[in-house]
Chains A and B, each alone.
Chain A
Amino acid sequence: MVLVLALGDLHIPHRAPDLPAKFKSMLVPGKIQHILCTGNLCIKLENVEQSESLVKYKTDFKAEVHDYLKTICPDLHITRGEYDEETRYPETKIITIGQFKLGVCHGHQVIPWGDLDSLAMLQRQLGVDILVTGHTHQFTAYKHEGGVVINPGSATGAYSSITYDVNPSFVLMDIDGLRIVVYVYELIDGEVKVDKIDFKKTATTTQASH
């Protein structure tokens, strides 16, 4: 029973000050074993100091978002989004958790943005069962022959170049043997709504095409 948190596109402090308080109250340490971050966490302290209007946000986030996420769970995997200043994040990452292989990629590299077929191609290229991408700031969960693509949306509800009307959302996956339950957490009208999706891996899915 492994709990994996998937989130991304926070854009702190440029497009959003912080995670919603209701999300933060739920994300307590000790429950989650892995975090997959699609990218665009942003915040580099030097930039914040320079901008006057952002000074007040500095009090909310004294340190990198990266560090905050580390307090929730020490096992953190991040890929680079186009606004991330941290150059050490990779473009894509592959992690094996239990019986599943998960891939993480921000998604701005895949054109057209958010196109499911292209993402499916990326997934086959990486050879993973589940691909976690972001960039569109919209939650989607899409299934094709090669596997499943999950987009956790934007955890802060930051606007994107595609749409302004964004509900904050993230995804928590419960991996139990060959079965995954994906819990989708969305903040709609100030209330946290949770849905779930069941997904079972069969022996025939996903031939690694590396």
Chain B
Amino acid sequence: MVKKQVPEWLNSSLWSSSTSSSSPLLPPPPSDTDDHGGDDDRLPPLSSKPAPSMHSYATSPSYGSSTVVSDSRTKPPIPVSPPAIVREEPPKREVKDVRRDDDNGTSPNLSSGPSPEEISRQAQLLAELSRKVINIGELRKLAAQGIPDGAGIRSTVWKLLLGYLPSDRSLWASEMAKKRSQYRHFKEDLLMNPSEITRRLDKSSGLENDEAKGEGKGLLSRSEISDGEHPLSLRKASIWNQFFQDTEIMEQIDRDVKRTHPDMNFFSGDSPFAKSNQDALRNILIVFAKLNPGIRYVQGMNEILAPLYFMFRNDPDEDNASSAEADTFFCFVEVLSGFRDHFCQQLDNSVVGIRSTITRLSQLLKEHDEELWRHLEITTKVNPQFYAFRWITLLLTQEFNFADSLHIWDALLSDPEGPLETLLRVCCAMLILIRRRLLAGDFTANLKLLQNYPPTNISHLLYVANKLHVHPSGQSL
């Protein structure tokens, strides 16, 4: 563990301001000077482009490129280098030929002064997204480096990564319509209260007689109830009985929804917008609980739901934003599918349960940083359950602020092996990054520190986590 030399990754360009392209992990940021000059890796047709500077995208509408269908270009503000796909992927050259009007119709809403890496990443992502058939593997690699915040890219990418949207763009519209109507049916079936159900049944069986005549006098006629269905029915199959049994879960869901992210206006507060968002969250959770009687609702699911809904609801595309509830439902199911076992109490001690996942994290830490592991678990006896439980079950949404947790989710969702692997690595990285303080602390101090994880640079964190992947027996700091 004695370090003989500074680890190679510490020398990477991430921490230096120079734009050296020596690091294989980062796409080399296009600098102002190398932009369109004679960079031989760039595609030849680009060399004829005019040379606007990096920061004046808004005024470069047409490119002289002959292979690009310039008349159908609808995103002028893209910086000049978009088709400059990352060097390592030559097959992307044909992207330019099939590039066409991109349907997501979003123009990158670049905030002032994004860093060069972000711009190129954004460009690559947009390029990838505008392909006819999207290569999910490529997308994963790109997303793992982080998705820029603007232009609804993230919501589209997440939908693709979670399998909600198929990789063939032409199928998007039909798939989305199908799923959205499916969700609508779920809602109709599951969210109706028994009064409405009986009313519908009556209407359909023609029992409904109009009481519109207010002048009539006389004894009201009694009619038979259908099926023994009355509100006090104790039959198991009675809709009323089931309704009352579900109220407990509904109350729990309601309580949690009201407590989600109280600091964000999007979720809490009295505005109608916040209320409608809360209603959407509630509906999604109720539908999920009713469709999954085995797992129902467990506290914490609302925290996993929140980032998804936030992203989809804030999609600049109007159509997507208004159907955010349906989209979020399916993506939520997908995200949770990898982690369902963590929420099932009976599985706690089993091979797939939360305890064994925590043990895996422990093992991972031991592999990478034995000294820290020993100090934490043996010397100070900080049982990983005390801190890792929340980290793992809630996918780190509670440890960082909202924007940071979105970045972490980019990395989690883009892992081809499934989010759990990356999650464990990120948790391990979190421990390694504060190792100095942990090694110096006792039980109380460490526990306090780990349960209130200090704010940290997320890119650095993800970088370290990534390194753990590459070098299983890496050196410690």
A:170-210 near B, CB below 8 Å: 172, 174, 176, 179, 181, 183-185, 194-200, 202, 204-205
Given known contacts A172-B231, A176-B195, is B211 in contact with A196 (CB within 8 Å)?
A: no
Q: Classify the interface of chain A: helix, strand, loop or mixed.
A: strand
Cα of A199 to Cα of B209 in the assembled complex, Å:
9
Cβ of B222 and Cβ of A172 under 8 Å apart? Answer: no
Q: How many Å from the CB of A162 to the closest CB on chain B?
A: 18
Most A C-beta atoms less than 10 A away, residue of B220, B221, B222: B220
Given known contacts A195-B224, A197-B222, is B230 in contact with A172 (CB within 8 Å)?
A: yes
User: Which of A174, A198, A202 lies in contact with B231, CB distance below 8 A?
Assistant: A174
Query: B208 on the interface (CB 8 Å rule)?
Result: yes
Cα of A19 to Cα of B225 in the assembled complex, Å:
24
Query: B244 on the interface (CB 8 Å rule)?
Result: yes
Most A C-beta atoms less than 10 A away, residue of B211, B215, B247: B211
Cβ of B194 and Cβ of A196 under 8 Å apart? Answer: no
Q: How many Å from the CB of B39 to the closest CB on chain A?
A: 68
Q: How many Å from the CB of B70 to the closest CB on chain A?
A: 58
* A174 CB contacts on chain B under 8 angstroms: 195, 231
User: Which of A30, A183, A185 lies in contact with B244, CB distance below 8 A?
Assistant: A30
* A205 CB contacts on chain B under 8 angstroms: 214
Q: How many Å from the CB of A142 to the closest CB on chain B?
A: 6
* B219 CB contacts on chain A under 8 angstroms: 140-143
* B224 CB contacts on chain A under 8 angstroms: 195-196
Query: A15 on the interface (CB 8 Å rule)?
Result: no
Query: B223 on the interface (CB 8 Å rule)?
Result: yes
Query: A25 on the interface (CB 8 Å rule)?
Result: yes
Q: How many residues of B are in contact with the other chain, CB < 8 A?
A: 33
* A195 CB contacts on chain B under 8 angstroms: 222-225
Most A C-beta atoms less than 10 A away, residue of B208, B228, B232: B232
Query: B356 on the interface (CB 8 Å rule)?
Result: no
Cβ of B212 and Cβ of A183 under 8 Å apart? Answer: no
Closest residue of B by beta carbon distance from A30: B244
Q: Mark A142-184, 1 if CB is under 8 A from B, else 0.
A: 1111001000000000000000000000001010100101011
Residue pairs across A and B with Cβ atoms less than 8 A apart, 14 shown, are A25-B234, A31-B244, A140-B219, A145-B215, A145-B217, A148-B220, A174-B231, A179-B195, A181-B198, A183-B230, A184-B222, A194-B225, A198-B223, A199-B211
Beyond the given A185-B230, A195-B224, A205-B214, could you list 20 further A-B residue pairs with CB under 8 A, ordered by the A residue number? A1-B193, A1-B196, A3-B231, A30-B244, A31-B231, A31-B232, A145-B217, A172-B231, A183-B225, A183-B230, A183-B231, A184-B222, A194-B225, A194-B230, A196-B222, A196-B223, A196-B225, A198-B211, A198-B223, A200-B211
List residues of chain A with CB under 8 Å of any chain B CB. 1, 3, 25-28, 30-31, 140-145, 148, 172, 174, 176, 179, 181, 183-185, 194-200, 202, 204-205
List residues of chain B with CB under 8 Å of any chain A CB. 193-196, 198-199, 202, 207-212, 214-225, 228, 230-234, 244, 247
The 7 closest A-B pairs by CB, nearest first: A26-B232, A176-B195, A141-B220, A195-B222, A1-B195, A200-B211, A194-B230
